[in-house]
Each structure stands twice: as structure tokens, then as C-alpha cells.
């Protein structure tokens, strides 16, 4: 079913309520997602993005409510990732005369995915395509979040289609931001930013300044996932500017895994030290915690405290996914510390501190190790670690 955004502009996407893991199993999507495609019906007809392949029939049905898909003149492919381009083959079978509009890097990535002899038009920032009463204007947005990423702006209507930027993995029966639960919406928008866009934060700021500098009126921001920002649409732009600064809250997260509860007891003693100094914290047992939810908490917090017992002269393998994320997401303005139990080799703290260094998270407080099960003194050392970390957090 389609939804009207403005005269001649329609959402023709699909809500995917059932998807709980995205990118294979890389990203959890507890609230599902949507693949937002948009149809502009003017003298010329343009489709902005498509939907993931399994939903191609639904996309075509939605378009058929408005026009014959054979009438499509342009398919604007803002980004090649298959959640947005996956139905291109079906659309191009229905409208073989259509031109696929891509960025310079999209001219590599779209053919690289589909290997089809479609008619392409490559555009760069500032280029326009006249659709009749309105023009589509393009802004390249490389690495937000692929090299090919591009924004499309519909002049006259003031609608920005920024593809993945400003999106959320959030299936809803409503289409607009003023129709949904605000806490859910912002929780998903922030989780999306933290897990996908954090490493590109300097580019986010630069791109926002560039787009704002164009002085274009923005009546709506219509991303390729989740709800459309209609009420005060620039609120999400301002929020992205804040998130891009990566100024954490004075809080801590403790991430650990444990075999026989020794490292868990240490984690909780560290938490007691933080709490004694008035620092809010959350403790995550990584063997049973959702990695992406944890990353959203890390994004917000100043301190990251890592714990693992030693296993085979190394760390518990269950910690590796989140440790890889910490490295890849390149969080800024954090401080860290490490702790763990051991039986004989005892390199867990050293390895975790090396990992923090690789993540460019400075170790603010010396680590604590405990042999076998922690003694009362070991637990007191953990509590002191928490207190010292609280002091470091307060210093900013």
C-alpha cells in the first residue's frame, strides 16, 4: 500500500516486521525495518531506490496502485546495497526503457551487482534532472555509508531523500515521525547511528554543513529505512550533529564474559566502586547480550571497562565480536580499563589493554587480575578500580 507525502510524491516501500537480524547476522533489528522506495509522478516519473529482493512483488503492487510501472522514466539508485537496489532487476524488467541514475561510484557498484546492460546516467553534486514541474537535484555523500551513497533532493517539494542517512531500523504501521512513539524512534535512530555511522562522524558533520549551506528549504527528510521526518524535519539533522561530536555522558559500561563466575564477581565489584562515587553504569555479560544494543550503550558512555578470564593464553572467544566492533567503529573521547581472572598464564588484562590501545581508547586506570576465584582483597581492588575510573570520568 502506498502513502502520499506530497502532491505527486509517494512512499511505495515495504515494512519488514519479521527481520530481526540485518546484514546476515551482523546487526540486530528487534523492531524490524522498512525499505523505503519513493515514486515521483510528474511529467516524467522517477522511482527513488527500490526494496530488498524478497519484497519486489510488493513494490511493484504499490507502484501499480499509482501508475503502470512501464511508465517509469528514471530509477534513481542512491546506493547499491541490496536492501535498496535488490528489486532493480524486477523494476527494469517492467520498465526496460528507464534510465538508472547513479553517482560516479554507483556507476561501478550497481553494474558490479547486476551485470545488466541497462541505460545509466551518472550524476554528481549539483546535477539536476527535470521531471516537469519539479527537478531532482543530487548531492554525492561518499562513505555515508558506502562510496556510492548519494542524496536526492526534490526541488519545489523540499523533500530530501538521503538514503541510509537519518534512517532507523524500525517497522511501523505509520510512516511519519509525528505518528510514532518518540522514545522508540530515537532509540532506534541512535542505535543505527552508533552501529553504522560512528566511524564516519567527521563526514557526517561535513556533509550536513554542505547541505545546510545550500540553503534549500526542507519540508521532509525521507530516508530509506524507518519513518519519514515530517514534523520539524531538521530535528534529526541537529541530533546527528550532536552525535557526530561524540561527546559521551559521564557514565560507564562494563563488558565481560565469565566461565565460573570469578570475572563476573569482579565486574560487579567494579560496578560497586563506580556507584559509590555516583557514576551510573551498565554491566553486560557478552555471552548473553545483544552486541548491537551494547554498542549503542558504549556510544553513550565515557568509560569502557573490559573483563575476561584467560583461556588458552588468550581471551574468551565470545568477547571477540564486540572487541572487533570497538576497533572498527573508532569511538572517540572514551577512556578504558581492564580486569579478569586467571589460573596460570594470566595475560587477560594485558591483552585487553592492548586491545583498548588498538581501539585508541586510553587506559585510564591500571587493570586488576585475580588468580582463581577473587579474594576479598581482589574484590576490594576491583571496587577501587571502579572508584578510580569514576574519578577519571569526572575529570572529563
Active site amino acids: 23, 79, 81, 83, 145, 164, 192, 225
Work out whether 264 is an interface residue with ligand FEO (CB under 6 A): no
Beta carbon nearer to ligand FEO, 161 or 339: 161
Q: Which of 191, 225, 265, 387 binds ligand FEO (CB under 6 A)?
A: 225
Q: Is the dihedral of CA 165, 171, 176, 181 positive or negative?
A: negative
The residue of the chain with the least Cβ separation from ligand FEO equals: 81
Please give the grid coordinates belonging to residue 269: 565489584
Beta carbon nearer to ligand FEO, 16 or 353: 16
d(CA 218, CA 88): 28
**Cβ(8)–Cβ(47) under 8 Å?**
no
Please give the grid coordinates belonging to residue 33: 525495518
> How many degrees, rounded to 5, is the angle at CA 27 between CA 24 and CA 32?
90
Beta carbon nearer to ligand FEO, 13 or 336: 13
Question: Which listed range, 81-89, 110-118, 211-219, 315-323, lies at the site for ligand FEO (CB under 6 A)?
Answer: 81-89
User: What 8-state DSSP symbol labels residue 195?
Assistant: I
Beta carbon nearer to ligand FEO, 85 or 134: 85
For the chain, first and last CA: distance in Å? 50
Work out whether 81 is an interface residue with ligand FEO (CB under 6 A): yes
Q: Which of 42, 164, 257, 297 binds ligand FEO (CB under 6 A)?
A: 164
Instruction: For residue 49, give the nearest of 172, 170, 171, 223 by alpha carbon.
Output: 223
**Cβ(385)–Cβ(337) under 8 Å?**
yes
Q: Which of 2, 31, 44, 84 binds ligand FEO (CB under 6 A)?
A: 84
**Cβ(79)–Cβ(224) under 8 Å?**
yes
**Cβ(200)–Cβ(244) under 8 Å?**
no
What are the residues whose beta carbons fall under 8 Å from the beta carbon of 352, sequence distance 6 or more? 306, 307, 308, 315, 338, 339, 340, 367
Closest separation between CB of residue 50 and ligand FEO, Å? 11
Beta carbon nearer to ligand FEO, 23 or 394: 23
Closest separation between CB of residue 146 and ligand FEO, Å? 6
Question: Which listed range, 79-87, 277-285, 318-326, 361-369, lies at the site for ligand FEO (CB under 6 A)?
Answer: 79-87
Closest separation between CB of residue 136 and ligand FEO, Å? 20
Work out whether 49 is an interface residue with ligand FEO (CB under 6 A): no
Helix axes 376-395, 262-276, angle to 10 degrees: 40
Work out whether 83 is an interface residue with ligand FEO (CB under 6 A): yes
Measured in degrees and rounded to the nearest 5, phi and psi for residue 74 equal: -130, 135
Closest separation between CB of residue 371 and ligand FEO, Å? 47
Work out whether 79 is an interface residue with ligand FEO (CB under 6 A): yes
Beta carbon nearer to ligand FEO, 42 or 83: 83
Work out whether 42 is an interface residue with ligand FEO (CB under 6 A): no
Closest separation between CB of residue 52 and ligand FEO, Å? 9
Measured in degrees and rounded to the nearest 5, phi and psi for residue 73 equal: -95, -40
Please give the grid coordinates belonging to residue 226: 524507518
Closest separation between CB of residue 375 and ligand FEO, Å? 50
Q: Segment 118-147, which members bind ligand FEO (CB under 6 A)?
A: 145-146
Give the CA dihedral 27, 31, 37, 42, nearest 10 degrees. -150
Work out whether 169 is an interface residue with ligand FEO (CB under 6 A): no
How many residues belong to the site for ligand FEO (CB under 6 A)?
9
Beta carbon nearer to ligand FEO, 149 or 289: 149
Cross-strand partners of 40: 9, 46
Measured in degrees and rounded to the nearest 5, phi and psi for residue 260 equal: -130, 35
Strands 27-28 and 21-22: antiparallel
Closest separation between CB of residue 5 and ligand FEO, Å? 19
Q: Which residues of this protein are in contact with ligand FEO, per CB under 6 A?
A: 79, 81, 83-84, 145-146, 164, 224-225
Amino acid at each position: 500500500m502506498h502513502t502520499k507525502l506530497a502532491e505527486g510524491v509517494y512512499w511505495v516501500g515495504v515494512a519488514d516486521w519479521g527481520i530481526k537480524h540485518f546484514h546476515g547476522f551482523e546487526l540486530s533489528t528487534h523492531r524490524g525495518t522498512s525499505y523505503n522506495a519513493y515514486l515521483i509522478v510528474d511529467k516524467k516519473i522517477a522511482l527513488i531506490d527500490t526494496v530488498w529482493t524478497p519484497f519486489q512483488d510488493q513494490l511493484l503492487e504499490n507502484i501499480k496502485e499509482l501508475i503502470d510501472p512501464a511508465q517509469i522514466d528514471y530509477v534513481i539508485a542512491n546506493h547499491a546495497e541490496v536492501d535498496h537496489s535488490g528489486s532493480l532487476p524486477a523494476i527494469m524488467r517492467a520498465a526496460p526503457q528507464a534510465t538508472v541514475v547513479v553517482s560516479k561510484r554507483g556507476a561501478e557498484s550497481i553494474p558490479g551487482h547486476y551485470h545488466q546492460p541497462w541505460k545509466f546516467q551518472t550524476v554528481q553534486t549539483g546535477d539536476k534532472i527535470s521531471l516537469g514541474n519539479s527537478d531532482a537535484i543530487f548531492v554525492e555523500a561518499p562513505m555515508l555509508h558506502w562510496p556510492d551513497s548519494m542524496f536526492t533532493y526534490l526541488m519545489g517539494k523540499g523533500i530530501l531523500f538521503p538514503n541510509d542517512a537519518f534512517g532507523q531500523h524500525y517497522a511501523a504501521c505509520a510512516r511519519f515521525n509525528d505518528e510514532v512513539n518518540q522514545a522508540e524512534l530515537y532509540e532506534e535512530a541512535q542505535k543505527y547511528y552508533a552501529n553504522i555511522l560512528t566511524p564516519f562522524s567527521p563526514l557526517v558533520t561535513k556533509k550536513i554543513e554542505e547541505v545546510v549551506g545550500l540553503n534549500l528549504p526542507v519540508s521532509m527528510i525521507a530516508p530509506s529505512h524507518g519513518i519519514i521526518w515530517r514534523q520539524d524535519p531538521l530535528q534529526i539533522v541537529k541530533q546527528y550533529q550532536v552525535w557526530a561530536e561524540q561527546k559521551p555522558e559521564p557514565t560507564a559500561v562494563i563488558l565481560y564474559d565469565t566461565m565460573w563466575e570469578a570475572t563476573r564477581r569482579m565486574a560487579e565489584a567494579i560496578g560497586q566502586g563506580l556507584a559509590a562515587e555516583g557514576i551510573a553504569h551498565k554491566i553486560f555479560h557478552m555471552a548473553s547480550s545483544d552486541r548491537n544494543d551494547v554498542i549503542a550503550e558504549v556510544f553513550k558512555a565515557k568509560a569502557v571497562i573490559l573483563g575476561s578470564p584467560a583461556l588458552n593464553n588468550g581471551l574468551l572467544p565470545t568477547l571477540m565480536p564486540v572487541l572487533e566492533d570497538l576497533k572498527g567503529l573508532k569511538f572517540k573521547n572514551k577512556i578504558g580499563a581492564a580486569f579478569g581472572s586467571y589460573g596460570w598464564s594470566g595475560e587477560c588484562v594485558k591483552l585487553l589493554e592492548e586491545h583498548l590501545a588498538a581501539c585508541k581508547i586510553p587506559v585510564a586506570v591500571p587493570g586488576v587480575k585475580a588468580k582463581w576465584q577473587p579474594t576479598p582483597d581482589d574484590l576490594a581492588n576491583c571496587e577501587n578500580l571502579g572508584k578510580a575510573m569514576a574519578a577519571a570520568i569526572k575529570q572529563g
